[in-house]
């Protein structure tokens, strides 16, 4: 088991955002987390990725308690979360954006921008990731000039450039066309296999994507796990259909 959360609770004042959430992710799994707005997805993501410490319960990654450890330290332990480097550094090229992630992974961020041009290991790693994500032809294009679908790809590729064992992707296909969504997912899955990722956790509102790619789906409602099962079992669960999916989204 690569990641486990046991009886996690998170309070914001008197409000309980997570109420006894337990889950586990094994190596080789693609797990999606779904739920309506306010279900606790964002809080759970922040807890799982060390950004927020739980009020109670434990989060263990590779047999180490990571509660509140912070995303930088967690990335060095082997867990990454997709992030918006494209927005943070709009005047960096695709290759430079990927190099920033590489410098972070290797702990060489103290002279980040001065290091971009001269660090051969980081540059070669960035070039490999650009190739895997179909971005090599746009390696020297400024991030802000990319099409929206390519910006999303770069966002995901930046997380992959951290070379994690497990990656958590928060709405990686939001704001793009259906064709771009499928292209992003196919590219991501292919890259994960070639890079040897052990597991993927996806938070996604598009149920077509969720059901097409997930090995297992965890449904949240009001801060609790409503169901944790295979896609087929989730479709057949009347509580999930009524509470989370809706009849139309659940399909036949």
Dump pLDDT digits (tens) for 7-64: 999 999 999 999 999 999 999 999 999 999 899 999 999 999 988 999 999 999 999 9
Per-domain residue ranges for the chain? 1-78+164-174+197-252, 83-160
C-alpha to C-alpha distance for 224 and 75, rounded to whole angstroms: 27
| Local confidence band at 87 (pLDDT 50, 70, 90 cut-offs) | low
**For residue 13, what pLDDT is reported?**
95
Average pLDDT over residues 60-81: 90
Q: What is the mean pLDDT of the chain?
A: 88
Whole-number pLDDT of residue 110: 46
Token pair recorded at residue 86: 């494209």
58: closest CA among 27, 85, 89, 20? 20
Using a pLDDT cut of 70, give the percent of the chain over it.
90
Q: Is the pLDDT of residue 88 over 80?
A: no
CATH architecture assigned to 1-78+164-174+197-252: 3-Layer(aba) Sandwich (3.40)
**In the chain, what percentage of residues exceed pLDDT 90?**
59
Round to whole Å and give the CA distance between 120 and 132. 18
The sign one gets for the Cα dihedral 153, 245, 51, 67 is: negative
In this structure, is the dihedral angle defined by the CA atoms of residues 237, 242, 246 and 247, taken in order, positive or negative?
positive
Q: With 80 as the cut, is the pLDDT of residue 176 above it?
A: yes
28 closest CA partner among 196, 207, 172 = 196
3 vs 51 pLDDT, higher one: 3
Mean per-residue pLDDT, 100-118: 63
């Amino acid at each position: 088991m690569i990641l486990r959360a046991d009886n996690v609770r998170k309070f914001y004042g008197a409000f309980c955002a997570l109420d006894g959430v337990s889950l586990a992710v094994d190596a080789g799994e693609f797990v999606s987390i779904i739920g309506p707005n306010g279900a606790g997805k964002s809080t759970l993501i922040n807890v799982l990725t060390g950004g927020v410490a739980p009020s109670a319960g434990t989060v263990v990654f590779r047999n180490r308690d990571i509660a509140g450890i912070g995303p930088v330290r967690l990335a060095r332990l082997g867990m990454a979360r997709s992030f918006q480097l494209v927005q943070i550094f709009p005047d960096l090229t695709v290759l430079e954006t990927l190099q920033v992630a590489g410098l972070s992974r290797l702990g060489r961020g103290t002279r980040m921008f001065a290091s971009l041009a001269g660090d051969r290991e980081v540059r070669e790693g960035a070039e490999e990731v650009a190739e895997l994500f179909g971005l090599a032809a746009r390696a020297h294009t400024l991030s802000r000039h990319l099409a929206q679908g390519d910006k999303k790809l770069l966002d995901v590729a930046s997380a992959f450039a951290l070379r994690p064992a497990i990656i958590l992707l928060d709405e990686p296909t939001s704001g793009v066309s259906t064709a771009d969504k499928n292209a992003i997912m196919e590219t991501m899955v292919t890259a994960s296999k070639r890079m040897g990722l052990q597991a993927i956790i996806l938070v996604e509102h598009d149920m077509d994507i969720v059901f097409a790619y997930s090995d297992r789906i965890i449904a949240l409602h009001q801060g609790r796990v409503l169901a944790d099962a295979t896609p087929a079992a989730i479709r057949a669960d009347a509580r999930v259909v009524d509470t989370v999916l809706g009849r139309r989204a659940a399909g036949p």
